[in-house]
C-alpha cells in the first residue's frame, strides 16, 4: 500500500505522523466523503482500546466526520470484533477501530471496516489515502446547517455480550468450570469476564485494570506465562489470554501448557469431524474418508 495504510490499517507511534490528530481528522473526513451519497447521511461507528492516546484519536475522528456532514457513533472501549459486529448490526456505512492491537501503549492505529464488518478493499484504502495526502476535501465541506452530530451508543457493550452468548451452543454449559482470563489491560477487560460469568463459569480475571499505559505490558496473548502460572496455582480447568484489542487469543490447558492457534484449530476440526459436520465440504468427494 501507500504512505498511510499498511497491512493492518494505519499504525505507528501515537502523536507522531501518521498517527496524530491531524491525520485522524482528515481520515474521518475522507471516510465520510467516500461513503457519502445523495439523500443519506453517512453513519460511522468509532471504537477503541484502552490506550491513553485513544482519546485524542477518537475525538479527532469524530471532528472530521461531523465536519464532513457524517454522524459518528461512539461505542468507547470495545474489542475489535465487537466494533465490526456493531457496524454491521447498526447498518452503518463504516466502522473505525482506534487500536494498535498487541503493540505497546506508545503505539496506536486506525483500522477501518466497511458496512459488512470486513476490512476495506485496497482500492477503498487507496482512495482514502489519496483524499488525505493530497488534501482534496477542502472544497467539499458542507455548509454549517449540513454538518453532522455525534452520538454515544451506551448499550453497545451489552449488545455485543448478547451476541457472543448466542454463539455458545444452548445445549452446553460452563457451569462448574474454573477459568482464568487475562485481558491484557485492554479492550476485553469488561466484555470477556461478563460473557464467561453469564455462561456460568467460575472465573478469575488478571490484568483487567487498564490505566492507559499498561495495555499488553508483560501480559495478554504475547506473554501467557503469567496465565499459565495462575491456572496451575488455582487448579483451573483452562485459561484464555487476549491481546490489547481482543482479536487474538492464546489458550492454556489445566496443566499450564500453552495452546497455539494451530492447536485450537486442530481441536475444532476434530470436534467437527466427530460430529460429522465436515461431510459437505467442497472437496469431500475427492478424498477417501
Active site (catalytic) residues: 101
Contacts of residue 97, defined as CB under 8 A and 6 or more positions apart, other chains included, come to 9, 47, 48, 80, 83, 110, 111, 112, 113, 245
Residues 25 and 56: beta-carbon distance below 8 Å:
no
Give the torsion through C-alpha atoms of 254, 258, 262, 265, to 10 deg: 30
Distance, in Å, from the CA atom of 57 to the CA atom of 155, rounded to the nearest integer, reads: 22
Cβ(73)–Cβ(48) under 8 Å?
no
Kindly list the strands in the beta sheet with 10-13, ordered across the sheet, starting from the edge strand earlier in the chain: 10-13, 107-114, 94-98, 43-48, 71-77, 151-152
Name residue, grid cell 451489552: 158
96/150 Cα distance (integer angstroms): 14
Query: For residues 31 and 57, what is the distance between their CA atoms, to the nearest angstrom?
Result: 15
Looking at residue 119, what DSSP letter applies?
Answer: B
The residues that bridge with 40 in the sheet, in sequence order, are 37
Give the three cell numbers for residue 162: 448478547
**Residue 51 buriedness (CB in 10 A; 0-12 / 13-18 / 19+):** buried
Distances (CA, A) of 77 to 31, 48, 52, 83, 187: 21, 5, 11, 9, 6
Amino acid at each position: 500500500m501507500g504512505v498511510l495504510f499498511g497491512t493492518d490499517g494505519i499504525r505507528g507511534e501515537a502523536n507522531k505522523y501518521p498517527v496524530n490528530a491531524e491525520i485522524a481528522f482528515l481520515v474521518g473526513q475522507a471516510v465520510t466523503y467516500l461513503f457519502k451519497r445523495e439523500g443519506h447521511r453517512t453513519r460511522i461507528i468509532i471504537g477503541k482500546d484502552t490506550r491513553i492516546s485513544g482519546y485524542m484519536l477518537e475525538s479527532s475522528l469524530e471532528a472530521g466526520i461531523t465536519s464532513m456532514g457524517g454522524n459518528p457513533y461512539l461505542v468507547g472501549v470495545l474489542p475489535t470484533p465487537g466494533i465490526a459486529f456493531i457496524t454491521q448490526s447498526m447498518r452503518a456505512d463504516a466502522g473505525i477501530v482506534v487500536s494498535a492491537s498487541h503493540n505497546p501503549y506508545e503505539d496506536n492505529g486506525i483500522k477501518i471496516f466497511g458496512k459488512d464488518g470486513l476490512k476495506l478493499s485496497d482500492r477503498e484504502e487507496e482512495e482514502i489515502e489519496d483524499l488525505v495526502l493530497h488534501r482534496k476535501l477542502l472544497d467539499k465541506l458542507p455548509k454549517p446547517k449540513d454538518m453532522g452530530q455525534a452520538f454515544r451508543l451506551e448499550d453497545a457493550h451489552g449488545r455485543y455480550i448478547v451476541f457472543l452468548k448466542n454463539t455458545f451452543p444452548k445445549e452446553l454449559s460452563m457451569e462448574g468450570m474454573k477459568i482464568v482470563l487475562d485481558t491484557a489491560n485492554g479492550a476485553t477487560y469488561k466484555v470477556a469476564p461478563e460473557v464467561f460469568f453469564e455462561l456460568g463459569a467460575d472465573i478469575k480475571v488478571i490484568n483487567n485494570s487498564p490505566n492507559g499505559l499498561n495495555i499488553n505490558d508483560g501480559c495478554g496473548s504475547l506473554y501467557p506465562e503469567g496465565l499459565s502460572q495462575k491456572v496451575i496455582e488455582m487448579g483451573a480447568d483452562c485459561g484464555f489470554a487476549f491481546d490489547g484489542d481482543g482479536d487474538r487469543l492464546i489458550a492454556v490447558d489445566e496443566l499450564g501448557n500453552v495452546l497455539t492457534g494451530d492447536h485450537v484449530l486442530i481441536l475444532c476440526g476434530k470436534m467437527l469431524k466427530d460430529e460429522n459436520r465436515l461431510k459437505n465440504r467442497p472437496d469431500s468427494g475427492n478424498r477417501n474418508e
